[in-house]
Amino acid sequence: MKARFSQYIYLIIIFILAIASFNDALGTSKIDSLEAKLKNYKDQTKLDTTHLKILNSLSWEYKNSNTVKALAYGKRALLLASEYLNSVGSIEEALVLKRAKAASLNNIGVAYDYQGSYDKALEYYIKALRINEIIDDKKRIATSLNNIGVIYYYQHNFQETLRYYKRALKLREELGDEPGIAGSLNNIGLLYINQVDKSNDPKNLGSAIDYLLKALEIKQKLGEPRSIARSLGNIGTVYKYRANLTNNSEDYDTALDYYRMSLSIFDSLEDKKGMSITYSDIADVHHRLGKDHLALKFYNIALNEAKDVGGINEIRNAYQQLSNIYEITKEYKKSLRYYQLYSLMKDSMLDEKSSLKLAEMQAKLDNKSKESRIEQLSKESKISHLEASEQRIFRNFLIIVLLLVIILTVFIYMRYQEKKNDNKELEKLSLVASKAENYVIITDGEDKIEWVNAGFTRITGYRSDEVLGKTPQEILRGSDTNPVTGRRI
């Protein structure tokens, strides 16, 4: 059964990767198209909200693949919005510019969030919240509240986390904002998972799974692949914690199944942060199962993905886990090396000022190189390709989601049937063995007795509690036993 399901998962992964290769130019095409449009804006003193939208869009698009560029574009947009506000001519224009400024602040907060610079992220999220409250944009207020809650979660301030999550959920329910409601439900579910992890008390698992399944149902209806991937990963985490508390290996298998489905979607989206987090989750399951060679493999992959996207928190976590596992495997030199890297990041957090300065310089160099290449391409061709690619990826992701739901349903049904059949066979065998006239002995792999029937007790005089854990030879052979008979025994 497990082998058959693994084959299904393998086929689905191959299918998703094929679609990913078909659409792998989409993200780059969108970014290239936006940067080509940005070239038209040389005079930044002339008020043009389209210019601001392009900068904010670039900041948002880069958040999953290059947080350095996301910060650079976000700060350019913030500076431009502030300059425009100083010379605004009407209330309507001021409202548009304040909304753009809030978006810039939020995008900068997201980039810092993805880098693991949580104090900076919180600072910009709060600034965005203040502007959204001034202009009374309830949808964006809810987004800011949710983002602030996320940062408090990372900082282990769970009381504030829940307070901000519930404020965001209430606003989103009032607005009928289904994507936002799904996000809030998902985050509250994660908070309950965290409480289980901290307390080793499984009573919150029911609440966690309820919130996460409600979130997944909404996301599947909306057809949002990245959000679906996150929900699948979160449900996998519930099974992982339950397996850890109950020592049920089947829950670990189920956790891995959810993580693999999540990873397939992140891979097709080229979301390196999501891939890094999911590879770490897979590594953690293998470590808990005692398969440290696999844990090392997947933590190293997680580390490489985190380095590509500049995810400081994910890099630091990978260093720490690699150090721990190399210590377990008695590879002490490697353990020490990764611990030193972990300690360096923990203590210094990469010196934010110098790191940001270096990041902005690199972004300028990258932009110059990109602009020289864009000059050689046709703008019309790129926009046309972008529109066609967006249609393809939307259609294909709907197919992926449907297939994943079908496969998961088939797997659950087949596992149920297999368990039901196994139980029937065991009941039959137990009935036959217990009624047999001759004695019946069941032993484990080391030939130690696990069960005997009533016939054994009647013939030998030994009760079952007297022989459990012993071998048949110890019970049935004595000093006067005929050697030929002994060998037959």
- Per-residue tokens: 241: 């914690």
**pLDDT values of the chain reduced to their tens digit, one per residue, 489 residues:** 444 444 544 444 444 444 444 444 455 578 888 888 887 776 555 667 888 888 989 998 888 788 899 999 999 999 988 888 888 778 888 898 999 999 999 999 999 998 889 999 999 999 999 999 999 999 999 999 999 999 998 888 888 999 999 999 999 999 999 989 998 998 888 888 777 666 666 677 777 888 888 888 888 888 888 888 988 998 898 888 888 888 888 889 999 999 999 999 999 988 999 999 999 999 999 999 999 999 999 999 999 999 888 888 889 999 999 999 999 999 999 999 999 888 887 765 544 444 444 344 334 434 443 444 444 444 444 444 455 455 566 666 777 777 777 777 777 777 777 766 666 655 655 555 556 566 777 777 677 887 777 777 777 778 877 878 888 777 766 555 555 444 445
Domain map (residue ranges) of the chain? 436-488
Tell me the DSSP string of 119-153: HHHHHHHHHHHHHHHHTT-HHHHHHHHHHHHHHHH
* HSE-CB of 18 using CA atoms within 13 angstroms: 9
CATH of 436-488, one of 3.30.450.20, 3.40.50.620, 3.90.1300.10, 3.90.230.10: 3.30.450.20
Please give the pLDDT value at position 5: 44
How many angstroms separate the CA atoms of 340 and 336, rounded?
Answer: 6
How many angstroms separate the CA atoms of 101 and 54, rounded?
Answer: 13
Please give the pLDDT value at position 356: 46
Tell me the DSSP string of 246-258: HT-HHHHHHHHHH
Task: Report helix angle 2-23 to 379-435, nearest 10.
Answer: 180
Give the predicted TM-score (pTM) of the model: 0.51
How many angstroms separate the CA atoms of 460 and 63, rounded?
Answer: 74
- With contact defined as beta carbons under 8 Å apart, do 131 and 101 qualify? yes
- With contact defined as beta carbons under 8 Å apart, do 225 and 203 qualify? no
Residue 201 gets which letter from DSSP?
Answer: -
